[in-house]
Amino acid sequence: MNTLLKTLLLTFLVSSTALADPGKTSGKKDHPTKLARYQVGTYITVMQKLRVNIDKQLGGEVSIKLTDAKGNLYYDHTLTSVDTIARLSLDLSDLNEGEYQLKITNGLEMEVRDIKISAKEPVVQSRKLTVL
């Protein structure tokens, strides 16, 4: 009877220890489970829009962030493992003058594009008419 009680107690302790999760419970990954290769193309249009074109492989995540020089976050988007193409258009006309960074990362490699926003200088259009 005494050995049966010890066996049950030992079984309970082992099973409760096995069920305990010593890992983090936040759900946030510290490192990617699979890396995705990607290619990026960026340009600014005349209408003050930043176009970001990303082509990536299946699997893995790619994160896109737009921050200012102080580190304030203005845009944050993550491409999931099933996404392969992203065509983003970010409106820069509401942002203040200054320097910004577009950071694209797959968790291991990071690509940084510097963006400088300055005040628009008025363009004076001149026109000449010649009378014949």
Render pLDDT for 31-47 as a digit per residue (tens, 0 to 9). Answer: 555 788 889 999 998 88
Task: Determine the Cα–Cα distance for residues 9 and 97; give it in Å rounded to an integer.
Answer: 68
Is it the case that residue 1 has pLDDT exceeding 80? no
Domains of the chain: 38-117 (2.60.40.3080)
Answer yes or no: pTM beyond 0.75: no
- Mean pLDDT, all residues of the chain: 79
The confidence score (pLDDT) of residue 10 equals 55
Is it the case that residue 65 has pLDDT exceeding 90? yes
Cβ atoms of 38 and 104 closer than 8 Å: yes
Provide the β-strand partners of residue 123. none
Share of the chain above pLDDT 70, in %: 73
pLDDT band for position 99 (cuts 50, 70, 90) = very high
Task: Determine the Cα–Cα distance for residues 106 and 37; give it in Å rounded to an integer.
Answer: 8
pLDDT band for position 58 (cuts 50, 70, 90) = confident
- Here the tokens at position 116 are 């400088």
The confidence score (pLDDT) of residue 9 equals 53
Cβ atoms of 102 and 65 closer than 8 Å: yes
